[in-house]
Every structure is written in C-alpha cells, then in structure tokens.
C-alpha cells in the first residue's frame, strides 16, 4: 500500500558551534531510537549568551519519520 503515514516529533538541539550543528545534534539523537527519519523543519532559533557572545545555539525542529506497521512508534 503506497499511502504512508508520517509522525512528527519536536526536538530542541543545542550546540556551541553553529545553527547547522545544533540541528544535526537533534537529528542524531532522534536517530538512535527512531527509524526512517525523512525530513525536518526549523520551528525556532534561540540561544544562550555568555560574556557577550552566543554560548549555545538552540534550534527547535520538527522531525518527520515514516511509521511502519511492523515497528510502530510510541
């Protein structure tokens, strides 16, 4: 059956380096417990400041993954 269903989870990844790195951290973490990760979408970009510089980039993403019958999520 070609009618797929995807679930979206919302994650906040952080990184001391860059926005791209914070997103990859969130996805890598999600990939340890979820299979079939397909796409993400940035929801919010924030961060913490220390000594007048960005100390932690914090990016909230929605990650979509395909839900298979044999290995259902949740």
**Residues of the shown chain interacting with a second copy in the complex, contacts defined by CB under 8 A:** 2-16, 18-20, 22-34, 37-42, 44-49, 51-54, 56-57, 60, 62-64, 67, 69, 72-74
10 Å Cβ neighbour count for 4? 10
Q: Provide the minimum distance between the beta carbon of 20 and a second copy in the complex, in angstroms, as a whole number.
A: 5
Q: Provide the minimum distance between the beta carbon of 68 and a second copy in the complex, in angstroms, as a whole number.
A: 10
Measured between alpha carbons, how far is 61 from 22 in angstroms, rounded to an integer?
Answer: 10
Q: Provide the minimum distance between the beta carbon of 58 and a second copy in the complex, in angstroms, as a whole number.
A: 8
Measured between alpha carbons, how far is 37 from 51 in angstroms, rounded to an integer?
Answer: 37
Residues with Cβ within 8 Å of 29's Cβ and at least 6 positions away in sequence, in order, are 11, 13
């Amino acid at each position: 059956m070609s009618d797929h269903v995807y679930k979206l989870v919302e994650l906040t990844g952080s990184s001391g380096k860059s926005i791209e790195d914070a997103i990859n951290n969130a996805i890598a973490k999600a990939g340890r417990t979820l299979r079939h990760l397909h796409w993400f979408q940035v929801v919010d970009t924030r961060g913490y400041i220390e000594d007048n510089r960005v100390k932690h980039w914090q990016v909230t993403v929605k990650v979509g993954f395909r839900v298979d019958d044999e290995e259902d999520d949740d």
